[in-house]
Structures are given as C-alpha cells and as structure tokens.
A and B are shown apart, each in its own frame.
Chain A
Amino acid sequence: MLKVVNIGLTLALVVFTALAFDFTNGFHDTGNAMATSIATGALSPRIAVFLSAALNMVGAFLSFSVAATIASGLVNLGAINLTVVFAGLCGGITWNLLTWYFGIPSSSSHALIGGVIGASLAAAGSHAVKWQGLVSKVIIPGVLSPFIALGIAAVGTWLVYRLSRDVPTQTRSHGFRIGQIGSASMVSLAHGTNDAQKTMGVITLALVASGSLASGSKAPSWVIVSCALAISLGTWIGGWRVIRTMGKGLTDIESPQGMAAEAASASAILLSSHFGYSLSTTQVATGSILGSGVGRKTEVRWSVAGRMVSAWIVTMPAAGAVGAMAYAIANGIGGNAGIILVFLAVVAIASTFYRLSRKTKVTPQNVNDDWPGTVRTSHGHGHGHGHGQRERHVGRIKPLDERDAL
C-alpha cells in the first residue's frame, strides 16, 4: 500500500515537471512562428502570441499518431525509470530557462533529449545510449537544418523581392503582411503537432515506466489535453526575450522577407516530419530568418547568429550535465525525498531566472525597440516606445556588449 502511494506521488511530480517543461517549450518557441510578424507589425504582439497559442492548441489535437517517445532509438528503454525521466526533464527545463533569460532561441527538443541522455548515462553508463541513433537522428539533422532553411529562405526572399519590386509600396507591404500571417500560422500549427507530441510521449513513457500503463499504449486523453494546454499557455505568455532576438537581433525584417522566412520554416518543418527526419523547429526558424536577410542582401548580424550557434552546440551537453546531476542527487538521496529535493531545486532555479528577468524586462511594448546589441532594450524597464510601429527603419547598431548577452 505504501509503495503504491509512493509511486503515485513520484509520478505526479514527474507529470507536473513534464507539463512545466511543455510550458517552457511553449514560451521559448513563440518566436519561431511569430517573431517576424511582430517585428514587421503584421500582427500586434498580443494578437500574435494569442494566434500562435490557439494554433498550437489545434496542432496538438490534430495529429493522432501515437506520441513518439522522444527516447526511443536514442536510449535503451531498459535504462529508463521514473527518476531518469524526471532528471532529464529537469535538465531540459533548466537549459530552456537559461537560454530564455539570455534571449537565445535554442532547441527545446535538444534540451529535453540532452537531459534524458545525461540522466540515462548517470543511471546506467554509456551502454544506455544508442550513440548511432543520437548522431543520425539528432546531431546530423541539427547541423544540417539551419543550412537547409537558410538556403530555402534566401532563394525565396530573393525571388519575392525580385518579383514584387515594381508593386506599389503600400500594396506590397499590405499584401505580404497577410501572407506573413498565413505562413506564420502554419509554423505555429506545425509546432503544436511536433512539440506537444514530444511531451505527450514523455508523460506516456513515465506512465509506462511506473506500470500505470501497458507498454506500447497510446497517450491517454488527459495527457493529450493537459499537454496541449501547457504548450498553448506557454506560447500565450510569450517568450518576449527570444522573440526580440529573433525579430530584431538577427537582421532587420520587412514583411515580404518575413513571409519568405516563415514559408521556408513551415515547409522545412512539415516536410521533415513527413519524411521522418527530425529537424529542430527553432534552428529551422533561425536559419530562415538569417537566410531571408541574405536573400534581401541586407545586413545580417552574424555575431548574434554566432552566439546562437555556440548555444546550440552547448545545448545537449549542458542539459545532459544538469540531467546527470539531477539524477545523481535524486538517486543518491533515494526515494521520494530525492525527487522532491531536486524538484524544489528546479523551482528555486526557475524563480531565480524569473526574478533576474524582471530587471531587464522585455514586454510587448518594448519588444520591437532598436537592437542595442543585447536582448536588453535601450529604454530600460519595460516602458520603451516601438509600440504599434509597422515597417521598421534599420536600427542604429551600437557595439555589442558581450557581457550582457552571453
């Protein structure tokens, strides 16, 4: 009887942590779909995040394929138990919060995979990880995806600008804003189908590991509903810091370019999931924005992009290290006490990042301010201008302050 109660409590904590991860996944990735629309003024910031949240919700319900467990093919499932899943989620959440604080669009999926792999390594050693699966399913696509997206977006942007050059300015910006909303909506929808599924898979995995579900079961409907809600809520909150970097930090974005970038992202994401090749939504979206800058032959801040790439490389090892540490602590203390302690530690980390972020607040009001080299806005604490502006002039670029940004 006591054992049942114990498993119940642990499972509840794991499920809660998984939903918390889903929430961070939501706000971390709002920018993938909506950064360009917000930057060009095609949508007001609040409407953009609401639309994206609604479409993520729809997306989460659209795809009824068995939620692919994120660990299958990457980790020997024998090594998976509740503590490993829990520690992996802690690694993913911590890395997502850190990169969010610095306004870096990094892959939430890589953070989760890194966390689970780190925890599995700590639990069962290197034979627990299928290294070939890791390289062929995660690392190689991760390296290629930004380049594929960059290429498609560069060609698309070049074509769009060439074809529409003698369209009157007003028609052009109005028309492409509509197109931009359409293509950004597709990215949001695709995001809901992909990323909400991943957390559904993790929770299902936890239910199977705890013996509550038979192995090979589909995600129960309460799992689908709660994951859809968690990711939409996160998206609706809006990761303004990441949105700001993607919309203003990489390059100046006009509406034709934003449309081309989102169309490239949407098609790359949808095609890759169709052909069973898992690309990171975030890396695709970032590559597309860079490519659209290249295609328009405007200034691209490669230094900002370079910092992102370094964060992408560090994502899996770093989340893995946190995952491994979380496992070591939870397992070392043992039982519920260990999991509760690690849970409290993650809550403490989360609230620390939240408090830190209040000091350099990025809000719907200042998200479009000129880029002074960091995610911080030049106008201090959340009361900048930039509200309601449409097509943007090229912002004055101040020297990069490396200490602030990374």
Chain B
Amino acid sequence: MNAWVNWDALWKICLIGLICGAGLPAIFAIGLKALSLPANGASAVRAADDDDRIYFGNIWGAMAAAVCFAIVLAAIGLGIYWIVSS
C-alpha cells in the first residue's frame, strides 16, 4: 500500500480479473467444445448447416460440458453474492 497507488488492490484485480475475466470464458469455450464432440466413430453429420441448435453428440462430452457450465454459473453466483454483500 502506497499513498498514491494502491498496489495491493491493483495486483489482486489484475490476477483475479485474469482468472475470472479470461478463465471463465475459456471454461465456457471448453464446455461448448465438449458439447459438440461427435458421437463415437460417427462423423458429426449435421442436418442443416443453417440450423442454430447445439448438438449433444457424445454423452461424456455432454457431462464435461455440464461441469464447465456449472463452474461458470457458480462463479456468476459468487459475483452476485459479492455485489450484495459489499
């Protein structure tokens, strides 16, 4: 802590900011990737390319995706808790 620059707060904001601000979107991306894994052996055949749906190709992928999305949701919950309690 310095009179002009609050280094203590600053490095925490940078570090935790990086973990949450960059890490959570990354986990979300991993979740999406897991979600769209093709089913075993089969190549991912899509009915129509302009269809916007998300495909559940692979059960393990879908479970991994659920874990990823749960982490992201938990972090959002923590964020809201922070807002309310601060």
The chain A residues found within 8 Å of chain B, CB to CB, are: 59, 62-63, 65, 132, 135-136, 140, 144, 148, 151-153, 155-157, 159-160, 163-164, 166-168, 170-176, 179, 182-183, 186, 189-190, 193, 256, 259-260, 263-268, 270-277
The residue from A151, A157, A160, A275 contacting B12, defined by CB atoms under 8 A apart: A275
A151 — which chain B residues lie within 8 A by C-beta?
14, 18
A-side contacts of B13, CB under 8 Å: 148, 268, 271-272, 275, 277
- Which B residues touch A156, using CB under 8 A? 21-23, 25-26
Q: Are B26 and A163 in contact (CB under 8 A)?
A: yes
Are B6 and A136 within 8 A (Cβ)? yes
Q: Which residues of A contact B9 (CB under 8 A)?
A: 272, 275-277
Cross-chain pair count, CB within 8 angstroms? 149
B32 within 8 A of A: yes
Bound state CA distance, A62 and B83, in angstroms?
7
Contact between A270 and B82, CB atoms less than 8 A apart: yes
Cβ of B58 under 8 Å from chain A: no
| Closest B residue by C-beta to A265 | B21
CA distance A136 to B51 in the complex (A): 52
A132 touching B3 in the complex, CB below 8 Å, given contacts A171-B54, A171-B55, A267-B21: yes
Which of chain A's residues have a CB closer than 8 A to the CB of B80? 62, 189
A171 touches B26 (CB 8 A): no
Q: Tell me whether chain B's interface is mostly helix, strand or loop, or mixed.
A: helix
Contacts of A167 in B (CB 8 A): 29, 32-33, 36
Alpha-carbon distance between A172 and B36 when the two chains are bound, in angstroms: 9
Q: Does B35 contact A (CB under 8 A)?
A: yes
B30 at the A interface (CB under 8 A): yes
New contact pairs (12) apart from A174-B54, A179-B25, CB-CB < 8 Å: A152-B17, A156-B21, A159-B23, A164-B32, A170-B46, A170-B52, A172-B36, A260-B22, A264-B21, A267-B17, A267-B20, A276-B6
Q: Is the CB of A170 within 8 A of B25?
A: no
Query: B24 an interface residue at 8 Å Cβ cutoff?
Result: yes
User: Is B50's CB under 8 angstroms from A170's CB?
Assistant: yes
Instruction: For the complex formed, measure the closest distance between the CB of A32 and the CB atoms of chain B, giving whole angstroms.
Output: 15
Q: How far is the CA of A259 from the CA of B83 in the complex (A)?
A: 20
Complex interface: chain B residues within 8 A of A135 (CB): 4
Q: Does B42 contact A (CB under 8 A)?
A: no
A140 contacts which of B4, B55, B76, B86 (Cβ < 8 Å)? B4
